[in-house]
Structure 1
Amino acid sequence: MEGLFTRYNGITSIVGDIVNLRVGNVEEMAVPPRNRDLAVVEQDGKTFSLAQIIKLSDDLVSLQVFSGTKGLSNSASIRFLGETMQAIYSENILGRVFGGSGQAIDNGPSLSHEPKVQINGPTVNPTARVLASRMIRTDVPMIDVFNCLVESQKIPIFSVAGEPYNKFLARIGIQADADVVVFGGLGLIFDDYHSFKQSFEEAGVLSRTVMYVNLASDPVVERLMVPDLCLAVAEKMATEEGKRVLVLLTDMTAYADAMKEIGIAMEHIPSNRGYMGDLYSQLARRYEKACDFKGAGSVTILSVTTMPGNDVTHPVPDNTGYITEGQFYLHNGEIDPFGSLSRLKQHVVGKQTRGDHGQIMNTMIRYYSEGVEAEQKQAMAFDLSEFDRKLLKFSLLFRQRFMKLDVSMPLEEALDGCWALLSECFDKDEVVIKQQLKDQYWVHSHG
């Protein structure tokens, strides 16, 4: 195609990673530029970097340069490719690590000639979606027992810097009963990236995992590509191969910060706290890729969203909460049962799980809540009743056996553990729960 070899000079300005190119009459160009199309930046007769068109205005084209603009001069030329960003897609991508430009970065065999799939496609037609009804087991009791992760769910882990959320996310990737895990790292430090890769390798699950990683030292522009690459591949696996795909993303606040940085470079008018006014729609466009496809597989999204200053009203967690179906709160190295919520758990509790699940879930949280109140009474030197002291013992053991992040057990074992803890701390007649369930499981817990 002739247009692929036509080079255009005329760079008017370079701002951050943004290049502004004046091209004259767009309609007369061999390959007319379109929004989100790719281009090649060339300098001194050599390829400098890939770039993506992000804005068209009369005869001015603005492009994001993937590798950054350090060392780029205004004399460089641009060659438009006439196609959008694509992700490599074949059975050979499993176990591989890709960068934010979609190219393999793990020194493995080249995949450049493998088939590709377009990214940034439309979200699924609602008529092709199936109501969420299947659970994804994680062997994390604070999720499986109290806030089930359901196929096609989109749910964030709200946390703060310094918490072990990446270690926790890796554990879920290893233990979850999904067919494929697609991992997206956004602005990761190298140690975190290495930790994820090593954890997947040592657990023997790298062969069912695909990793897309943007390091903190990599260009900010590529950070914006990682979720789209992950979701395009996940959707293809779900629809064409019927796979149950779990997408893990960390950290979506870094993604939003990258959008803010690009927006400021583009001189867009900022909204709340410097973020662009389309923050909600940009996040929603990615999260809405979560889907249980009719007659095929599913895409489930579990992301990390850090809250600067532990402020849940910060624009990123605030907007995320309106899009997603609940959240997991992670602080002090524990999943907080009070702040966490899975809005889809009612679709599987007691239907795909054991008959006592719903009752034991509610009873445990009720007694833990009362135990926290008893701890406050004790701290303020109020007299404690005998039942208060039982509640204190219960809340202490509940934290140790269920809330710690390193606790791992199958759902049925966790439910049995709940009954065992109740019988250890209370008399049978003191526990308010259906008598039929007590008759069945109270004895079982001592068996």
Structure 2
Amino acid sequence: MSVQFVGLKEINGPLVVLDNVSNVGYEEMVELVLEDGSVRTGRVVLLEDKKAVIQVFEGTRGLSLTNTKTRMLGHPMEIPLSTEILGRILSGSGKPIDGLGEIFAERSADINGKPINPVSRTYPRNYIRTGISSIDALMTLIRGQKLPIFSGSGMNHNKLAVQIVRQAKVTKDGGQPSDEKFCVVFAAMGVKNDVADYFKSSFEESGVLKNVVMFLNLSNDPIIERILTPRCALTVAEYLAFEHDMHVLVILTDMTSYAEALREFSSSKGEIPGRKGYPGYLYSDLASIYERAGIINGHKGSVTQIPILTMPNDDITHPVPDLTGYITEGQIVLDRSLDLMGTYPPVSVLPSLSRLMKDGIGEGYTRADHSALANQLFASYAKVQDARSLASVIGEEELSPIDKNYLEFGTYFERFFINQSFEEERTIDQTLDLGWKLLALLPREELDRLDSKLLDEHYHPEDARMFRGA
């Protein structure tokens, strides 16, 4: 039986308060009927004795304390699910905004999902090829992994997100494209209209939109919707992965906008703030999103996450990237100095890593020499930074011949390996071969992370000519 309440006790920002309520559940959905007959949606966000605090999605402007009618719906927020959802563009709360009509649902599901029993998880193996050398070779994305991108304001993370959506592919033995079903769930939170149009036009022009589900929450949409967007996206991803055996890549941008919406909402509830004003439960809230990635025993599909977040003032110790780093399995860090030099994508190699990479590359996954080559490229590029630091003190002309070698290697590594055209998609073989050619710029005795068998097979000093003549 549906119970209806007439009148409100209090209105405070996006929140309204009802008194003398019973048999109401936390997260329960609510309909509010205004005097003019229009209906708004809300959900219960706080229960204290017989008082219920309701979050109104469309805002509280125009609500009356005396005549507003409130109806409890008896269930949490749900999103309609169907395979027809592929190729659709939805609002942040899952309503179609592409003019193609409603989605005919097979069923509806609670957007909060169900926690995955750790015992039922399968360890992630196999990689997802992005076609971007710096990611595929040095911080490989594994199916079922959560690998965030840490960016800064004004950097090219939107362009990088579009390229990953356009080029991402699941692979089989040896890194070849697989015939397994693959799709992308793309959720944008707090983006401006021009950025939203860029995402839509890019996916349409490249022809990938048919395999993408887009959730768009604009900067002028209610912050309440922003808090729902990643949960709606992940509910769709879990449905496609675990009921239709698809490998799903979920891209969430920008998680900092999500966290700021959570901070604003927490403040409106009068909660005690934590570090930098964020609520004390920010860690567990982010974990409830990130931990929905993975592979479950008995299911062929997987959910892989790439959350993108901007670091305020490029500060990696800011609460949002800091807590994200604790929960996720690595990070891809974008470097502002590389971005200013015109390098795209401006991936900062040394602070970036993928903790699951070691078990999803090598023979049978990518190529037998992948792991050793990646270790050597990391080690050599670290020595480049040492040589640059020394040159800034004593001058480049005072460096030893080997330090000058490393400076040369660093220049060409950034110019040819990290730097890559937005339109260019490299296979794993092209990427690894390019890495070996770059190592030819260094003397063989400096390559101490590689065994002699690999060096005999792949190290050819004459390959250095192609860079020095460029």
Q: CA offset at residue 290 of structure 1? A: 0.7
Q: Does the CA contact (< 8 Å) of 2:7 and 2:64 recur in 1? A: no
Q: Does the CA contact (< 8 Å) of 2:29 and 2:76 recur in 1? A: yes
Out of 381, 390, 406, which is 2:405 matched to?
390
Out of 107, 110, 126, which is 1:115 matched to?
107
User: Does structure 1 residue 147 correspond to structure 2 residue 160?
Assistant: no
Q: CA offset at residue 431 of structure 1? A: 3.5
User: TM-score, with normalisation over the residues of structure 2?
Assistant: 0.89
Q: Secondary structure at the match of 1:11?
A: coil
Q: Secondary structure at the match of 2:298?
A: coil
User: Does structure 1 residue 95 correspond to structure 2 residue 87?
Assistant: yes
C-alpha distance in 2 between matches for 1:430 and 1:246 = 39
Give the length in aligned residue pairs: 437
Indicate the residue corresponding to 1:300 in structure 2. 304
Q: Does the CA contact (< 8 Å) of 1:168 and 1:405 recur in 2? A: no
Indicate the residue corresponding to 1:370 in structure 2. 383
C-alpha distance in 2 between matches for 1:88 and 1:172 = 27
Trace 1:324-335 onto structure 2 (pairs within 5 A): 324-332=328-336, 333=339, 334-335=346-347
User: Does structure 1 residue 344 correspond to structure 2 residue 356?
Assistant: yes
> Residue by residue, what CA displacement relative to the aligned partner does 1:4-51 show, whole Å, maximum 9, x if unpaired?
xx43123122111111112x251xxxxx32111111111124233111
C-alpha distance in 2 between matches for 1:21 and 1:81 = 15
C-alpha distance in 2 between matches for 1:349 and 1:316 = 30
Letter aligned with residue 416 of structure 2: R
Taking a change above 3 Å as real, the CA distance of residues 52 and 287 of structure 1, as seen in their structure-2 partners, is same
Out of 380, 394, 397, which is 2:393 matched to?
380
Trace 1:183-222 onto structure 2 (pairs within 5 A): 183-222=186-225
Letter aligned with residue 236 of structure 2: V
Taking a change above 3 Å as real, the CA distance of residues 436 and 10 of structure 1, as seen in their structure-2 partners, is same
Indicate the residue corresponding to 2:177 in structure 1. none
User: Does structure 1 residue 418 correspond to structure 2 residue 435?
Assistant: yes
Q: Does the CA contact (< 8 Å) of 1:158 and 1:317 recur in 2? A: yes
Trace 1:21-100 onto structure 2 (pairs within 5 A): 21-22=18-19, 24-26=20-22, 32-74=23-65, 75-100=67-92
User: Does structure 1 residue 226 correspond to structure 2 residue 229?
Assistant: yes
Q: CA offset at residue 121 of structure 1? A: 2.2
Tell me which moved more, 264-273 or 402-411: 402-411
Q: Does the CA contact (< 8 Å) of 2:81 and 2:108 recur in 1? A: yes
Q: Secondary structure at the match of 2:115?
A: coil
Taking a change above 3 Å as real, the CA distance of residues 113 and 431 of structure 1, as seen in their structure-2 partners, is closer
Indicate the residue corresponding to 2:320 in structure 1. 316
Q: CA offset at residue 348 of structure 1? A: 1.5
Letter aligned with residue 252 of structure 2: L
Taking a change above 3 Å as real, the CA distance of residues 430 and 157 of structure 1, as seen in their structure-2 partners, is closer
> Residue by residue, what CA displacement relative to the aligned partner does 1:385-415 show, whole Å, maximum 9, x if unpaired?
2222221111001001122363641111010
Indicate the residue corresponding to 1:29 in structure 2. none
C-alpha distance in 1 between matches for 2:366 and 2:11 = 57
Q: CA offset at residue 140 of structure 1? A: 1.1
Q: Does the CA contact (< 8 Å) of 1:95 and 1:209 recur in 2? A: yes
Q: CA offset at residue 115 of structure 1? A: 3.0
Identity %: 37
Q: Does the CA contact (< 8 Å) of 2:82 and 2:107 recur in 1? A: yes
Out of 396, 412, 415, which is 1:400 matched to?
415
Q: Secondary structure at the match of 2:38?
A: strand
Tell me which moved more, 49-58 or 108-117: 108-117
C-alpha distance in 1 between matches for 2:462 and 2:100 = 51
Q: CA offset at residue 218 of structure 1? A: 0.2
C-alpha distance in 1 between matches for 2:105 and 2:377 = 55
Q: Secondary structure at the match of 1:8?
A: strand
C-alpha distance in 2 between matches for 1:444 and 1:232 = 52
C-alpha distance in 1 between matches for 2:149 and 2:442 = 33
Q: Does the CA contact (< 8 Å) of 1:287 and 1:301 recur in 2? A: yes
User: Does structure 1 residue 434 correspond to structure 2 residue 437?
Assistant: no
Q: Secondary structure at the match of 1:143?
A: helix
C-alpha distance in 2 between matches for 1:267 and 1:430 = 60
> Residue by residue, what CA displacement relative to the aligned partner does 1:281-331 show, whole Å, maximum 9, x if unpaired?
111011110111212211111101221122222211111111111111012
C-alpha distance in 2 between matches for 1:325 and 1:184 = 20
C-alpha distance in 1 between matches for 2:244 and 2:105 = 21
User: Does structure 1 residue 236 correspond to structure 2 residue 239?
Assistant: yes
C-alpha distance in 1 between matches for 2:24 and 2:82 = 29
C-alpha distance in 1 between matches for 2:33 and 2:193 = 29
Q: CA offset at residue 427 of structure 1? A: 4.2
C-alpha distance in 1 between matches for 2:100 and 2:462 = 51
Letter aligned with residue 298 of structure 1: S
C-alpha distance in 1 between matches for 2:104 and 2:93 = 12
Letter aligned with residue 387 of structure 1: I
Q: Secondary structure at the match of 1:109?
A: coil
Q: Does the CA contact (< 8 Å) of 1:135 and 1:348 recur in 2? A: yes
Q: Does the CA contact (< 8 Å) of 1:238 and 1:293 recur in 2? A: no
Q: Secondary structure at the match of 1:46?
A: coil
Q: Does the CA contact (< 8 Å) of 2:84 and 2:104 recur in 1? A: no
Q: CA offset at residue 194 of structure 1? A: 1.2
Tell me which moved more, 68-77 or 269-278: 68-77
Q: CA offset at residue 255 of structure 1? A: 1.0
User: Does structure 1 residue 9 correspond to structure 2 residue 28?
Assistant: no
Letter aligned with residue 168 of structure 1: L
Q: CA offset at residue 252 of structure 1? A: 0.9
C-alpha distance in 1 between matches for 2:41 and 2:24 = 15
Trace 1:125-164 onto structure 2 (pairs within 5 A): 125-164=117-156
Indicate the residue corresponding to 1:20 in structure 2. 17
Alignment gaps of 5+ in structure 2: 171-181, 340-345
Letter aligned with residue 406 of structure 2: L
CA RMSD of aligned residues (A): 1.9
